[in-house]
Structures are given as structure tokens and as C-alpha cells.
Amino acid sequence: MSAISFTIEKRAPRSGARAGILTTPHGVIKTPAFVPVGTKADVKGIFPEQLVSIGAEVVLANTYHLYLQPGEKIVQDAGGLGKFMNWSGPTMTDSGGFQVFSLGAAFGKGISKFKDFVSPESDEGLTKSKHGLAVFDEDLATSHGKLAIIDDEGVSFTSHINGSLHRFTPERSVEIQHALGADMFFAFDECTSPTEPYEYQREAMERTHRWAERSLKAHRQNSSAQKKQALFGIVQGGRFEDLRKESACEIASLGFDGIGIGGSFSKEDMRGALRAAVGELPEELPRHFLGIGEPGDILEGIANGMDLFDCVAATRIGRHGSIYTRQGIVHLKNEKYRNDFSPLSECMGFVNLSSDEGFTKPFTLAYVSHLIRSGEMLGPIICSIHNIGFILQLVAGARQAILDGKFDEYRADFVREYY
RNA sequence: GCGUCGGUGGCGGAGUGGUCAAUCGCACGACACUGUAAAUGUCGCGCCUACGGGCUACGUUGGUUCGAAUCCAACCCGGCGCA
């Protein structure tokens, strides 16, 4: 018995795209859906009411961050993630598996989730340890510029906040996520660096599979949590299609409530890895494309049958002064926007961002550019809301297009103008 | 007027005989950002360039020296103190 239910309303004729309804204990999510990221129990710079007003239906927080600060007990005592952050709709939490990557192999290397990975440096093999470093060697890790090292049992890491030592296992991640109490949560996985070779990708994938089983077992041992929370397993396998297929089969066979597709790709590898995985997934489970993405990548995901997406880019680039528009990303700090008095909303093709909760009138590019340049906090806030709104609208439009049987045209039209 | 300290790139401010077109910060210009170590980071920022380098620059003028932003002299300008 799952805490959620998922029904598919309509499938697109010439692609894998599908529109569905995902019902959770805290409400309904119309899929495909974009899930704004609220890592530390807030979508940076945006009030819950504003999220609602621009169409958000669900938010995603992070286990690693909330465990470190303020601690899962506080969130639990507050009544769970949603109550803690004043969000009454559906919630999700990520497992902390991504931090294994971002604080581990990627730490200090300028590698992000989605870069062109030019020259994979030979890596002293810390994260490749086959012998299981049960005890975290801080000096060793630090000397390699990492805050996290992996063994078969779990991951030891130092807090990026104060350097204190911690350890996650699949069981611990589930326990923390039970305390956080989101409607949907993810199994603890190992998100590998795309620079890792095949052998290591296989090793990590198999470890992720073992962790998936342990996560599921831990979840099933808590029947009250099981009634309220759904657990998603995560497909890994790097850029290798055979691994992706194998991983998808394995994860799909275990009995999760939903499936996440994880990983870190180079731009060219995403589609192949995605297709290989999706082809092996059962139709009836909701599929979440972890960490994706940019407009084009989201549409690619939808076309390949993905239902849920989350991404920090909208708020991050917004905070950094860039906005999505129908014609592509605009860097508001650029000189040419200093005296561009065209309205923000019209520029991005929004029909309506004006509501009692949202903006009352469109701001001009010149104004927001000024706010960004002068360091006023309203600038990043406006851009973040704008960008989340843009993505939500893009996905809502895609959903409607699927229902209307016009997804291919919708996607083609968008891509033509945007890229 | 006397004394004293000081005048460096858009600004602030290092440097105090060669390795200085000149550290650094700001401003400015551009780029990056995909399960958030991120309201962050990277690059550029005298002029020209066939990218090897060339040219003009550290208040002004002159001098010392193989060589000066750096030493000397005069002058101009500013702060402070005394008249």
C-alpha cells in the first residue's frame, strides 16, 4: 500500500510524454510537474504563498542540509517539513546522495552536475575504495579536497558548515527522512562523477542497488511512516546505457513507490542514459528526473516520459541576476539593460503574473537590473520568482499540450525560439 | 609666508633604483551556474598587436644612473600646523 497514487490521464502520440495525476497525502500534483528546490526548507527568496501564486504544487528539501541544520528532530517537532516551512502542499526530500557527489568526487574541482568534463583528473581513488573506509580519515579526505568518502556501508563526511564528522547510511537517511516527514522521499544513492570510468560506475551502481534494498527494508519496518510517505528508488549507471538499463530493471523490480533517475551527465550523454533507463521502467510509477533542469532538458525529459523535475538553476541564476525568457537567458547585469524599460513579464511572455500574492505590476528590466547591480535583495528575489514562474509555466504548458495532443509542436516551438 | 606630510591606473590604496603596465579592493565589462559548500565563481579591465611583441604612462620640467613610479632640484597642486 503506497502513500501516493499515480494515474496517467493522457499519453502523447509520437513521444513518451504523458500527463498524469499524482495524489499525495498533502494534495494533488498534476504531472509533468516542476518541483522548486527548497534545500534548507525554503525556496531561496520566495514565500510559500508566492510559490502557490505562480503555480507550484510541491517543493523538495534536502536531507543532508536539514540534518546538519537545524537537525531533523526540530523539523519533526515542528510537525514535519511542510508545517515547519509553512507549506501546506505536497513535499519531497532528497536523500543526501547528491552531496556524496558534490562534497566528494566533485568537491573543489569546479565540477558541477552538468558540465563539459574535459580532462578527468586521475583521482587518488578515495571514492573508489573497494575496502570500505569505515572510519572517516579527515586528513586524508581534506588532502584530496573532499568532504565525503564512501564505503559499502555508507558515507562518512564532514559538515561543510563546521567541519564536524558525520555518517550517513541508507538506514540513517531513511530514518532522517521519516523524521522530516515529506510525502515523497528518495533512497540514499551514490551520485557518481561523470568522469568515473565504466568499472567504477558499475561498482557505484551496484552499491546504489544494495543501498536501495536496505532503504526499502528500513522504510517497511516503519509502518506508520509507510502509510504517510512514499519512497522513490534511484537509477544510476553514469553515461553507460547498459548500466542504465540494468539499473532501471533492478530498481523497478524492488517495489518502490516511484522512480528517480539520478546522475551527473555531460550534455551529450543525458539523452542516451535517460532513454536507456526509461525504456525499462514500468508505466504506472511516477518518474522523477533528479536535478533537471534547464528548459530544453525538461522538455527532453517530458518527451521521454518523465513526470517530475527539480532544479536549482531557476533560483540560482535568478539570484545571480539572470532570467529566463522565451528567447533564452538574459543577463540583467549586462550594460544594455540599464535603460531597457520593457516590462519583465511581457519580455518573458507571461500572460499573468499579477495576482494578489504575486506582482501587482510588471517591473522593468532597467529597474531589476539596477536592483541587481546595486546589491538590493529585492533584485534576486524578483528574478528567482520570475524564473520559477517561467519554468512552472513552461511545464504547465507542456502538460496542456500533451492533453491537447500537441506536445511535439509545443516543444518544437519553444526550442526554436529559445535556442 | 614658514614648517611638515603628500600627489600612482575611473575611485580607494600598495610599491619606494632593475624581476612594474605597476599587488590588492571597489567600480566597470563579459561569462558560467542543471537532486544548492553558491545573494556565488571565473575571466577581462592604458593604447596598439601579425599575440612574438610594440608604444605611452606613476603631478610638471629638468637632472643623477647602464637603468627611475622609486634618488636629486625647481615648479605646480592638496592636507595639516604655525604665523
Burial of A336 (C-beta count, 10 Å sphere; 0-12/13-18/19+): exposed
CB count within 10 Å of CB A409 equals 11
Residue percentage of chain A with pLDDT more than 90: 79
Cβ atoms of A385 and A46 within 8 Å: the answer is: yes
- Nucleotide with C1' nearest the A60 CA: B35
Cβ atoms of A289 and A318 within 8 Å: the answer is: no
Mean pLDDT of A27-41: 98
Cβ atoms of A153 and A134 within 8 Å: the answer is: yes
- At A34, give phi and psi (nearest 5°): -95, 135
Q: What is the pLDDT of residue A103?
A: 87
Q: Which residues of A are catalytic?
A: 94, 310
pLDDT at A203 over 60: yes
What gap in Å lies between CA A212 and CA A9, rounded to an integer?
29
Beta strands, E only, A127-245: 148-150, 155-158, 165-168, 184-186, 230-235
CB count within 10 Å of CB A151 equals 19
Protein-nucleic contacts, chain A 255-274 to strand B, CB < 7 Å = 260, 262-264, 267
Report which DSSP code applies to A363.
P
pLDDT at A317 over 80: yes
pLDDT at A358 over 70: no
Q: What is the pLDDT of residue A113?
A: 78
Going from the C-alpha of A298 to that of each of A267, A291, A393, the distances in angstroms are 13, 10, 12
Which part of chain A is CATH 3.20.20.105?
33-307
Protein-nucleic contacts, chain A 213-242 to strand B, CB < 7 Å = 234, 236
Quote ipTM for the complex. Answer: 0.88
Chain B nucleotides reached by a protein CB under 7 Å: 27-41
| pLDDT band per the 50, 70, 90 thresholds, residue A118 | very low
Protein-nucleic contacts, chain A 65-94 to strand B, CB < 7 Å = 65, 94
CA–C1' distance A359–B64 (Å)? 71
Q: pLDDT for A215-267, tens place per residue?
A: 999 999 999 999 999 999 999 999 999 999 999 999 999 999 999 999 998 88
What gap in Å lies between CA A97 and CA A1, rounded to an integer?
26
Task: Tell if A300 CB is < 7 Å from nucleic strand B.
Answer: no
Annotated binding site of A for substrate: 94-98, 189, 236, 263
Cβ atoms of A148 and A103 within 8 Å: the answer is: yes
CA–C1' distance A190–B63 (Å)? 73
Q: pLDDT for A371-416, tens place per residue?
A: 999 999 999 999 999 999 999 999 999 999 999 999 999 999 999 9
Distant-in-sequence, close-in-space partners of A77: CB < 8 Å, separation ≥ 6:
none
Say yes or no: domain A33-307 is CATH 3.30.470.160.
Answer: no
Global pTM reads 0.91
